[in-house]
Structure 1
């Protein structure tokens, strides 16, 4: 049975979480509504993350990896994962597992007529400051993009791969995935998913880059929207 979904898992210094990632995905694979595999993208980790990833991939063909030579950031890791996917669908989840692999089954049920389905973190298990900064950042982004999304920072998404691979590379793209699908005249939907507190490792984003980063990225998005080229091929000699 061929894989239908590649799930991109960006990794930067997450050695304390990776064996749990392996365990939870092995459990998910048994109930997955679409044949799935994991693609780790090691973003220049300075701890033992890459060694652990190699061991996980050696234990099962349901896990693959690519590794950057240096740290390039979350957006680069996500985009590289999308570009390396060879399945009909591509997903994304963070390696801290504050969202659950099992909830990909919720997104799979909705993807049919849509080109992106994203989670919305219900009963979010973060600090007051983190929650408020994210709400403010989402409000700023919505005022620029008009994408109708309540929680683009939710690290649980499924996208049709041909749409994902047409997203241009830019820093901050992880905040604009629904907007970039809409630029391609695609359809997007959001559905509630579970959220959990981080149990190991350290968060990679603070209040400052949750607020200032999205504001700066919004201006980059507006420039890109003005310059964006969208086309559809009607036919060709290739059939």
Structure 2
């Protein structure tokens, strides 16, 4: 039996070459688990790391309870890692956070307190501790994205979210679609709720995103989303006898 079925929340954590951050991440996750208001587990998704990340994850999962991992055959990108993790989860709720620890595991409590306000609960980073150029890039990207998606989310890239597992597993997640989770959820007629969360500077390693891969791939993904939304079909059943027999 898939052990995640025993938990109310399973948190998926994609990992790509984060060996410098993992010890601090492990400590933070253990500290949060001890105070969490629900039974929670953590699922690391090794996304083709070429450093020592996978070995560190294996050692940690062997030594601690409520921690699990999967390792992908080859690098699939953030959306691919999330899709792989979501598909393995059997708990009612699935969460997501990055391995760089720029958001705080404790803030899952803020999302959990509001989990009945929507089917996807999104953190919105306040007091961003990013460089000026990165802040400008993010603001510009969100404005352009909102012109197309109209999802009303000011920080769709915040890597702290929880959602209904059965819903997130039904979403059409193609490469880059992690940027559009709120818009995809709204497209299916479900609710999105936002909650302010904390943010801190990256302490170890380097960001996997830069102006080039944010701007060009982001624009390409935006066109893909617009096309997908224009073709999306949500049939409505008018009559059925499935429950009458």
Identify the TM-score tier after normalising by the shorter chain: over 0.9
1:115 corresponds to: 119
For structure 2, which runs of at least 5 residues remain unmatched after alignment? none
Change (3 A) 1:135 1:56: same
Match of residue 209, structure 1, among 195, 213, 216: 213
Q: Which residue of 1 aligns with 2:203?
A: 199
Larger radius of gyration: 2
Q: Give the Å deviation of 1:56.
A: 1.0
TM-score w.r.t. length of structure 2? 0.93
- The answer on whether the counterparts of 1:140 and 1:214 sit within 8 Å (CA) in structure 2 is no
Q: 1:39 aligns with which of 43, 62, 65?
A: 43
Q: Is 1:142 the counterpart of 2:146 in the alignment?
A: yes
Q: CA deviation at 1:236?
A: 5.3
Moved over 4 A (4+): 231-237
Matched, 1:75 2:67: no
Q: Bigger CA drift: 31-40 or 197-206?
A: 31-40
Q: How does 1:224-235 map to 2 (within 5 A)?
A: 224-230=228-234
Shift of 1:119: 0.7
Supply the distance in 1 between the matched residues of 2:38 and 2:241 (Cα, whole angstroms): 30
What CA distance in whole angstroms lies between the structure 2 residues aligned with 1:140 and 1:152? 12
| Displacement of 1:61 | 2.8
**In structure 2, distance between residues paired with 1:145 and 1:158:** 20
Deviation at 1:18, TM superposition (A): 1.0
What secondary structure does 1:16 align onto?
Answer: helix
2:174 is equivalent to residue 170 of structure 1: yes
Aligned residues: 238
Q: List alignment gaps of at least 5 residues for structure 1.
A: none
Determine the structure 1 residue equivalent to 2:189: 185
TM-score, normalising length from structure 1?
0.95
2:28 corresponds to 1:9: no
Instruction: Report deviation, 1:216.
Output: 1.3
Q: Go from structure 1 to structure 2 and tell me whether the alpha carbon gap of 1:227 and 1:27 turns closer, same or farther (over 3 Å shift).
A: same
Q: Quote the offset at 1:230 in angstroms.
A: 3.1
Report the Cα offset of residue 232 of structure 1.
7.2
C-alpha RMSD over aligned residues: 1.8
CA distance in 1, matches of 2:234, 2:31: 40
